[in-house]
């Protein structure tokens, strides 16, 4: 039997913004606490909604987690493909992709922790194959295609396209996912504005010097 709070929610016309607030809060909670440690009451509090509203939109915690991942990868997919499918030269496409990927993670550093946690769930996750089919493979194929195009025109050194993709993704995500450890090692705040700006400059410098032919 439905609770009075749930029944009252079902009788209302709810704004779509409520769902996006829940998904945003869920992304942060799952990233910080992991799937097992994340609490729906904490997500409701962070989103500023009644906990019954979560179970109006999502039948259980696993579905909420899956849709939070979907919302993250859907936005990432759109922004990365916009950079890679432009009519620019291969060199400019690489610059735009690195900028777009770095900015996407830097805007919400917890995204990278969530991604790494999902990868580490391995066979226990029902989501990774779906996410790969819907969002990830297309971006990786397009990035590898740009690398091959640039090598063909002489703009790029003949690197292995697949491993170039892994290197770029790792170089960007590691910094943000491991920020607490980097702070302990370096003694300064990796997520400060100046540190992030410097990291972006160095990532771009490293990638272009490794890839671009003289």
Rounded Cα distance, 44 and 61, in Å: 12
Beta bridge partners of 212: 156
Question: What pLDDT is attached to residue 11?
Answer: 41
Rounded Cα distance, 171 and 23, in Å: 27
Rounded Cα distance, 33 and 59, in Å: 20
**Exposed, middle or buried by CB within 10 Å (0-12, 13-18, 19+), for 104?**
middle
Rounded Cα distance, 145 and 150, in Å: 9
Q: How many helices (H) and strands (E) does the chain have?
A: 12, 0
Rounded Cα distance, 110 and 173, in Å: 10
- Give the predicted TM-score (pTM) of the model: 0.86
Please indicate whether residue 119 or residue 158 has the higher confidence score (pLDDT).
Answer: 158
Q: 211, 156 in Cβ contact below 8 A?
A: yes
Report helix, strand or coil for 2.
coil
**Per-residue pLDDT tens over the stretch 80-97:** 999 999 888 999 999 999
**Per-residue pLDDT tens over the stretch 25-78:** 999 999 888 888 999 999 999 999 999 999 999 999 999 999 999 999 999 999
Rounded Cα distance, 110 and 117, in Å: 11
Question: What pLDDT is attached to residue 36?
Answer: 87
Tell me, rounded to whole angstroms, the distance of Cα 75 from its chain centroid: 8
Question: What pLDDT is attached to residue 8?
Answer: 46
Exposure of 112 in the CB half-sphere (CA atoms within 13 A) = 22
Both tokens assigned to 44 = 């409701």
Rounded Cα distance, 105 and 79, in Å: 12
Please indicate whether residue 138 or residue 34 has the higher confidence score (pLDDT).
Answer: 138
Closest to 159 measured CA to CA, from 194, 119, 150: 150
Q: Which CATH number fits domain 60-211: 2.30.40.10, 3.30.565.10, 1.10.3720.10, 1.10.357.10?
A: 1.10.357.10
Mean pLDDT estimate for the chain: 89
């Amino acid at each position: 039997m439905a609770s009075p709070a749930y029944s009252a929610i079902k009788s209302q016309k709810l704004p779509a913004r409520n769902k996006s607030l829940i998904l945003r809060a869920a992304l942060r909670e799952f990233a910080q606490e992991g799937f097992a440690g994340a609490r729906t009451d904490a997500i409701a509090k962070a989103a500023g909604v009644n906990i019954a509203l979560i179970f109006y939109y999502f039948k259980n915690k696993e579905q909420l987690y899956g849709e939070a991942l979907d919302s993250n990868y859907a936005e990432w997919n759109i922004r990365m493909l916009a950079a890679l499918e432009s009519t620019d030269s291969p060199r400019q496409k690489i610059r735009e992709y690195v900028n777009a990927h770095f900015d996407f993670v830097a805007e919400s550093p917890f995204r990278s922790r969530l991604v790494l946690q999902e990868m580490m769930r391995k066979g226990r996750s029902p989501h990774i194959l779906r996410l790969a089919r819907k969002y990830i493979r297309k971006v990786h194929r397009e990035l590898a295609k740009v690398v091959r195009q640039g090598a063909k025109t002489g703009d790029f050194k003949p690197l292995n396209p697949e491993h170039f993709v892994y290197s770029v993704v790792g170089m960007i995500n590691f910094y943000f996912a491991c920020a607490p450890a980097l702070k302990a090692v370096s003694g300064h705040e990796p997520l400060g504005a100046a540190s992030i700006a410097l990291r972006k400059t160095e990532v771009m410098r490293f990638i272009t010097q490794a890839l671009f032919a003289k």
